[in-house]
Amino acid sequence: MIKKINTLFVTMFGVGRIPKIPGTLGSLISVIFLYILFHILDLSSTLIFVFLIIIFIFSFVAVALHIKDSANKDPKEVVIDEFIGQSIPIYMYEISHGTEKSSDEAIIFYGACFILFRFFDIVKPFPVNFFDKKFKNSFGVIMDDICAGFYVVLSLICFMIFKNYFIQ
């Protein structure tokens, strides 16, 4: 029973078991889920932060249990790491500037986060590739997506700086 619940968790309730593009689907569902939490349910950012931290901490144990007896230490069905990585830029956007964001603005930003995250997760620039190749355990599975999430944040900050100084 615990193994089945764990599998449901790491595969995001079976999304990771979809044969084609499970990582992309996991990221897309993460974006939609986070949009619902922030803009439809209008939950507080503190409550969402606590939820994300719990998911983050539990993921290390859950992924470790899932891959323990497997030869493949980064199976495609594990997509909870996509949720964690995708959550970083979206959460940072939602708490930035302490201002209200319109739903239309959020949709555009969430779309940009989704595209950039998938780009960095697929291309795997350093240190994303370092964690992906060097750590064949739950730490590596999760940390490469965390790095990809922070690359998205860095890219968007660079874009905002460029926009403010060169496009007015």
Which pLDDT does position 97 carry in this prediction?
Answer: 65
pLDDT in tens, 78-113: 999 999 999 999 999 999 866 677 888 899 999 999
Structure tokens at 100: 């209200």
Which pLDDT does position 98 carry in this prediction?
Answer: 64
The dihedral sign for the CA sequence 15, 19, 21, 22: positive
Nearest partner of 52 among 66, 65, 73, 33, judged by Cα? 33
Segments making up each domain of the chain, as ranges = 2-6+20-162
Nearest partner of 80 among 47, 42, 33, judged by Cα? 33
For residue 123, CA distances in Å to 117, 120, 132, 148 come to 10, 5, 11, 10
Which pLDDT does position 111 carry in this prediction?
Answer: 96
Confidence (pTM): 0.91
